[in-house]
Amino acid sequence: MIKVMIVEDDPMVREFNKHYLQQMNGFQHITSVSNGDEAIDVLQKEPIDLILLDIYMPGMNGLQLLETIRLRDQAVDVIVITAASDIVSVKKALRLGAVDYLIKPFEFARFQAALSTYREEVNLMQSQNQMSQEELDKLLFHTADAKGNVEVADLPKGLTRNTLQLVYNCVDDMKGKSFTTEELSAQVGISRVSMRKYLQFLSEAGVLDVEICYGFIGRPSYTYRFLPDKVSRIHRYL
């Protein structure tokens, strides 16, 4: 389990972030604190893998906390969740090694994408001691050409990259279990018509195994199963 600390001075936002986190598989909420000084105390006592970090806080702000963590060379990752949208804050957070940056207000889909991406990176890092360039490209959710340029492919008309990422995250969370269009559309929160388009795209890309079930009455039904060893086929679309 990935052990998480939430650092946020607004009690209501802390509860929202905790609620969102508890909907994600593979994460354990260890504690929530309201400022950087309290976070430092926790880091001295508890093993924390990931911090969900606000910037605007009394006392030690989020960027100062992140800088302190790096100066101490503590092995903890940080996803910034803040209303700070100025370029100076964004650039400093990224320079200090923030693995993602969410600007308030944000949708759960964006939160889910950030946590799912981070979880996949952690799983890949823990599964081996070395990695090839191709595996590193998978880690970054992109593929690169021979010159090292990142290529992001166009999606078919009617599909969006953000929704595809969300669909992929939900499919990945199925852990190889079969599912239907109706089940996934309810989980993602889009219509069945829209979901069919995304599932058809993933099926044609070879990422999903499709089984057709013929009943006695009406149209055949379809069940899908994720093929994790084929996921590199859609990295360039994400």
For residue 196, how many other CB atoms are within 10 A of its CB?
14
Architecture per CATH, domain 147-237, reads as: Orthogonal Bundle (1.10)
Instruction: State CA 42 to chain mean position distance.
Output: 24
The pLDDT value recorded for residue 44 is: 93
The pLDDT value recorded for residue 11 is: 92
The pLDDT value recorded for residue 229 is: 72
Q: In CATH, which of 3.30.70.420, 3.40.605.10, 3.30.360.10, 3.40.50.2300 is domain 2-124? A: 3.40.50.2300
All CATH 3.40.50.2300 domain ranges in the chain, comma separated: 2-124
The pLDDT value recorded for residue 153 is: 62
- Please report, in angstroms and rounded to a whole number, the separation of the first and last CA atoms in the chain: 25
The Cα–Cα gap between 104 and 213 comes to 44
Two structure tokens written together for 53: 């970090």
The Cα–Cα gap between 95 and 93 comes to 5
The answer to whether the beta carbons of residues 222 and 176 sit under 8 Å apart is no
The pLDDT value recorded for residue 144 is: 40
The Cα–Cα gap between 84 and 89 comes to 7
Q: Positive or negative CA dihedral for 37, 42, 48, 51? A: negative
The pLDDT value recorded for residue 152 is: 53
The Cα–Cα gap between 115 and 24 comes to 8
Helix H or strand E segment including 116: helix 108-127
Helix H or strand E segment including 6: strand 2-7
The pLDDT value recorded for residue 65 is: 95
All CATH 1.10.10.10 domain ranges in the chain, comma separated: 147-237
For the chain, 238 residues long, give each residue's pLDDT as a single digit of tens: 999 999 999 999 999 999 989 888 889 999 999 999 999 999 999 999 999 999 999 889 999 999 999 999 988 999 999 999 899 999 999 999 999 999 888 878 788 888 888 887 887 777 777 777 766 666 665 444 434 444 456 777 888 888 998 898 888 888 788 999 999 999 888 999 999 999 988 888 788 888 887 665 666 778 999 887 777 677 667 6
- Helix (H) and strand (E) counts in the chain: 9, 10
